[in-house]
Amino acid sequence: MFIVQRERGYLDPAGVRYLAKRLRLRYTDIWEVATFYSMIQTKPVGRYHIQICKTLSCKIHGRGENYRFMCVNVLALSLARPQLTGSFTVSMVECLGSCGTAPMFQVNFDYHENLTPERVDKIFDSLTEPSRDFFC
Ligand code: FES
């Protein structure tokens, strides 16, 4: 799935059909796995895919209001940087397995933890740098 995603940008229906045939599985077998895990994209995403954890630990460690502020900050900061316009996708996802350093989000495959509004700002500053591979 990662290889197809890397080659095509996301796991599209043609990619799912290819995998099903190649692995001798049903189309729905591939699709069920693809749609379960947040690291597999079934729709096109921007150059920077920001996945914000929306599960309990991140909300608790983010102390409710702070967590909401952080989420809004992510959106506001991304919109405030014209150089990033059209190059990012923001998704709310289930636990990313980094509960001890919550609140956190993931940009492509990089984790950013113990987030504060200031740290979010610095992360967005780093996104303006020239290209990084989608896959590490
Ligand atoms: S609850 Fe956010 S990483 Fe687990």
The CATH fold of domain 48-127: Glutaredoxin (3.40.30)
> Does the pLDDT value for residue 130 go beyond 60?
no
Question: Residue 52 C-alpha to ligand 1 middle, in angstroms?
Answer: 9
Give the strand order in the sheet containing 105-107.
Answer: 88-93, 48-53, 105-107, 110-112
Longest dimension (CA), the chain: 49
CB of 16 shorter than 6 A to ligand 1: no
Per-residue pLDDT, averaged over 4-13, amounts to 91
Query: At 46, which amino acid appears?
Result: G
pLDDT at 39 over 70: yes
**Domain edges within the chain:** 2-36, 48-127
- Strand segments, DSSP code E, in 43-132 are 48-53, 88-93, 105-107, 110-112
List, in sequence order, every residue forming a beta bridge with 90; answer none if it has no partner: 50
Distances (CA, A) of 20 to 5, 39, 52, 53: 14, 19, 30, 30
Please check whether residue 103 is in contact with residue 67, taking contact to mean a CB–CB distance below 8 angstroms.
yes
Q: Does residue 74 line the site of ligand 1, with CB under 6 A?
A: no
pLDDT in tens, 109-127: 899 998 887 888 788 778 7
How much is the pLDDT for 86?
Answer: 66
User: Is residue 134 predicted with pLDDT exceeding 50?
Assistant: no
Q: Is residue 58 within 6 Å of ligand 1 at its C-beta?
A: yes
pLDDT at 132 over 60: no
